Chains A and B, each alone.
Chain A
Amino acid sequence: MYMILSLPGTDILTPWAFSKHLEYTWTRAAILTQFVQAGSESSPCELDQRTPLLSSHGSLCTQSFGGTYSGHSNATSPKNMGHGDHVVDQVARSLYVGYRNNATMDPAWFAAVETICMLNGCAMIHEALDTQIMKSYIWLQTVDGSIQQVEQEIAMFCPMICHEVIQKGMGSSKNYAISLPQQVNPAVLSLILDYCRFHQVPGRSNKERKSFDEKFIRMDTKRLCELTSAADSLQLKPLVDLTSRALARIIEGKAPEEIREIFHLPDDLTEEEKLEPLKNATDDPRIRLLNRLYAKKRKELKEREKLKNVEVDEELVDDRSVDDLLSFINGDDGDSKGIKTSKSKRKNRRRKDLLKSTSAHEATKNHNKESNGLNSVCRSAEVGQILPGVDATTNLQDVEDDIFPNKNEFDDGDIDDEIDPTLKEKIDREVEDFARRLNSDWPERMQEILSLGQEKKPVHLSLNGKGS
């Protein structure tokens, strides 16, 4: 069997068109426009303009639909449209209402009715609804299994619910309640519905809406986060924006500990990760220094790995050869290289002094070392291949390393001889001056922090607050 759908004033729709229109299989859709049309022509149906919208009509419809579908098989073409129109409308309304009262109705059927009504003059249906004592409700099921009904216009404010109702015909009865996403528990749902209830009324001014929003958003943080999550799952963008703004306001300007406290975030970054030069957002010079310290330690660790693989002899040999070559190059080349060399020499010198005096300017050290490292890398590139261990060696910055000071001295030893003595003195003086100044600045706490670091430094370092 098949249904012929004919809408007043339109062409007869074929069954296929019908199902395509409603996305249902046509066998389930049981709209009988014949029934509607027949109502205008045959008396037994007792349908005319004066027929009140009683549930008897609803049950009449139900019976008709519950029984055989064939009913009136003559597909009458739309005639007497004037009279018929109104009747169709009445019947459509009563079908709608009838369905509403009868919870066991097939949702597909309901959706088909609604489409008919809409095609027929949606406005009238909604007017009818307004004048009815019974409002239309949508059934919602939250993640805990509880089902509740919500006024249609409020629930339809949420795009996700709207989609479920229109596209899939869900929500029309208890058995076909719309399952809400798991983020929506009953408490949060009631909040969301409060929001929808206020905002779906079209006549409100912007000021009113804003003031409602401000009051609405005052709740504890946990609830706020739940609300954000739930609103997002229901695709209710205005509420998501509102809650995001509120959360941003909470986060803004607070220290990390406070934020962790508020949101119960685990403090699970390791010290090293915190120290990693992610971002000196606070521009705190201490953090910068800690970053450098960590970088230094990291290099040292890597270096130790590499050193394990390299034989000591070779290293020494290579080192020596590097230095020889370097001095060879430096000695031979003109001014440019010479200048470079003297600079690096000076830095080496400085480094050596700092080490010796056991007060170090971390920043300068690092800066020097990095630039020294760079220089040596450049030079070694020029010279030819050298074991990576060697380069790294010259980059070693940690005092603790046994090998390091030796190498340093070694390096320095060779190069020192070539520095102009007066220059050397000047440099010494500068360095000690500097060191003195630095020592007086830095609070003890920094030393504490350092001593709590991964590797304990035997040397008492005092660090400068100033950056390089």
Chain B
Amino acid sequence: MDDVMSRDLISDLPQSIIESILTRLPIRDAVRTSILSSKWRYKWATLTQLVFDEKCVILSNDRCKVEDGLVNFITRTLFLHQGPIHKFQLTTTHLQCCPDIDQWLLFLSRNDIKELVLELGEGEWFRVPSCLFNCKKLTRLDLFRCEFDPPPTFKGFLCLKSLNLHQVLVSPEAIESLISGCPLLESLALSYFDSLALTIRAPNLKFLCLEGEFKDICLENTPLLVAMSVAMYMTDDIAEHFEQSSTCNFNRFLGGVPRLERLIGHIYFTKFLSIGDDLGRLPITYAHLKVVELNQVSFEDMKEILVVLHLITNSPNLRELQISGSSNTLAAIDAPDLDFWEDECPSNCTFKQLRVVRMTDMSGVPHEMEFIKFLLANSPALETMSISPCVYVMDGRLNMLIELLRFRRASAQAEILFIQD
């Protein structure tokens, strides 16, 4: 018999706190609290967040055993659970295509599931069952390595705010209609798709992350977009497709995002933007754009340089700029159009807010140096300009430095950092 001094410390805390504690435990420990005392028997059973991963089962080398153990654990937990389940997350490399997962999804769809994260293993991809499309309250959906095939009657998830599809097999029309069918969508991430041609219509979209082989992307209705990160992998036929296209990609992609604050472009992004004519015909100002990061900009391609210039000259509040080059040094040495910088380059633009510039993988080719010169001359508030030469360029570094020394600087406080490895 416990005396008064060792009174139960914790069982009488309000249920919200107990849940807060149990949610912070790995699910296995949370469930084990059921044998602590009579009061604790079912405290775990009303948790609304269930996160499963391989730590739920005893590790062993026997793959089958781990799989079975995990399946059993999840099934039993769901079976013993009471009340709504708002978040269900499963991250495992062991399960792939398993009939139990279908049953779990069916169970979840009847229990007001709001956040669903399924990260399954390699191998045969799990085919998402139709009950998923009945989850009306879904606000977040993350699928990794699944097959996603909405039925024709599916109109969309009306409450969905975040969608992340990574290595998901789905038809382009299905994705487009899914995106359009989720009016509240704020965050969209699509990665590792093959040859996807996509038009995105998402009036509430704020965050966009695209990575993969995109044949074509058009942001048709994304007025609230705040941040985007795009990585486009190019295969030969996509490159060909691009050659033939004549519509201005820049306008199609960045034409309707006036609220953009952060733009990150990875490999081939600037090339993608450079395709098409009529760059600069539409006057757009990116009044909120503060951070721009463009990787793999090829300074031997005049069109790409124009894209970069067009972007930054229309961003009066730009604060940070990071550009990494990818010039084919030999081809770029005899740079045509060098007079562009003197003749045609917009000379009256000032980057009033630009503070930090980082140029990486610089080869020292003429256009790169002219660009740096241009920035230095037009950034009165500049604080740091850091330049990292490309690792392959050894001889040209001294020349780069010599040229850099000559450049006029609009900002007296500007520090130029030359970073060697």
Q: Cα distance A87–B203 when bound, in Å?
A: 52
- B72 contact set on A, CB distance < 8 A: 280
Residue of B6, B13, B41, B58 touching A228 (CB-CB under 8 A)? B13
Interface residues on A, range: 20 to 34
- Tell me how far the C-beta of B51 lies from the nearest C-beta in chain A, rounded to whole angstroms: 13
* Interchain CB contact under 8 A, A279 and B31: yes
* Interchain CB contact under 8 A, A279 and B34: yes
Residue of B16, B24, B36 touching A259 (CB-CB under 8 A)? B36
* Interchain CB contact under 8 A, A225 and B24: no
CB of B331 closer than 8 Å to a CB of A? no
* Interchain CB contact under 8 A, A225 and B10: yes
Which of A139-147, A244-252, A387-395 is the interface stretch? A244-252
CB of B287 closer than 8 Å to a CB of A? no
- A260-B76 contact given A240-B17, A265-B11, A266-B2, CB 8 Å threshold: no
Q: Cα distance A325–B11 when bound, in Å?
A: 56
* Interchain CB contact under 8 A, B37 and A267: yes
Residue of B7, B21, B26, B35 touching A274 (CB-CB under 8 A)? B35
- A251 contact set on B, CB distance < 8 A: 21, 25, 29, 33
* Interchain CB contact under 8 A, A241 and B8: no
Q: Cα distance A247–B72 when bound, in Å?
A: 28
CB of B355 closer than 8 Å to a CB of A? no
Q: Which residues of A come within 8 Å of B, CB atoms?
A: 221-222, 225, 228-229, 232, 240-241, 244-245, 247-249, 251-253, 256, 259-260, 263-269, 273-274, 278-283
Q: Which 5 A-B pairs have the closest CB atoms?
A: A248-B24, A264-B6, A244-B20, A225-B9, A265-B37
- Tell me how far the C-beta of A321 lies from the nearest C-beta in chain B, rounded to whole angstroms: 37
Interface residues on B, range: 35 or more
- Per DSSP, chain A at the interface is helix
- A256-B36 contact given A247-B21, A248-B24, A251-B25, CB 8 Å threshold: yes
* Interchain CB contact under 8 A, B76 and A280: yes
CB of B204 closer than 8 Å to a CB of A? no
- B40 contact set on A, CB distance < 8 A: 265
- A252-B35 contact given A240-B17, A279-B80, CB 8 Å threshold: no
B 228-258 binary contact with A (CB < 8 Å = 1; else 0): 0000000000000000000000000000000
Scoring B7, B25, B80 by chain A CB atoms within 10 A of each residue's CB, the highest score goes to B25
- A229 contact set on B, CB distance < 8 A: 13-14, 17
- A280 contact set on B, CB distance < 8 A: 72-73, 76
Q: Known contacts A252-B26, A265-B8, A281-B31; can you find 5 more A-B pairs with CB under 8 A?
A: A253-B29, A260-B37, A263-B10, A266-B38, A279-B32
* Interchain CB contact under 8 A, A264 and B35: no
Kindly report which residue of chain B lies nearest to residue A279, judged by CB atoms. B31
CB of B57 closer than 8 Å to a CB of A? yes
- A256 contact set on B, CB distance < 8 A: 32, 35-36
Residue of B10, B21, B35 touching A278 (CB-CB under 8 A)? B35
